[in-house]
A = this chain, B = another copy of it.
Amino acid sequence: MRFFEDLQVGQRRELGSYMFTAEEIKRFAQQFDPQRFHLDEEEGRNSLFGGLAASGWHVGSVCMKLIVADNQRLAEIARSRGEAIAVGGPSPGFRELRWLKPVLAGDTITFSSEIDSLRASASRPQWGILQARNTGTNQRGELVFSVLASAFVPRRNNG
């Protein structure tokens, strides 16, 4: 996480890669999305997915996980330099969330985030509002996940 003043439209962050194992796909599905194509290889193969597929909520949650890990990495760097640490705020919501292709067991998805727009918050002068396009691409270079996410970002000078 950086401060609002440090951000520019078009800035891109590489968030890292994540391999979705069959075990993790099933564990998430058992908890939150126990549809058959998320629980069983054979049922997955017989579905529109064509294989054991991760829940879309699992894919989005993993993207979130990598964003938070990258924010913590940036905070560590700032801390080691004795700089102020930006702590992000909540997200008001998302737009255009798309699961474009299935994420199947064994797929490795590489996530990135690119800043789409930035504006000051009218009601909360100590915060800016960032809109970023977060995407996931599989090991064949196919875009599988895309979302336009909003988040509150702290201002360096508290308005």
Contacts and interface: CB of A to CB of B under 8 A. Distances in A.
Interface of A: 31-37, 47-49, 53, 55-57, 60-62, 64-65, 68, 72, 87-100, 102, 124, 127, 152
A24 to B, nearest CB: 10
State the copy count for this chain.
Answer: 2
Nearest to A29: B68
A93 B60 CA distance: 11
A37 B97 CA distance: 24
Contact of A65 (B32, B49, B65, B98): B32
A28 B124 CA distance: 28
Minimum-distance CB pairs A-B, first 9: A93-B98, A32-B61, A94-B97, A57-B61, A32-B65, A33-B64, A93-B97, A48-B89, A57-B64
B90 A48 contact: yes
A91 B56 contact: yes
Contacts of A56: 90-91
A48 B151 CA distance: 12
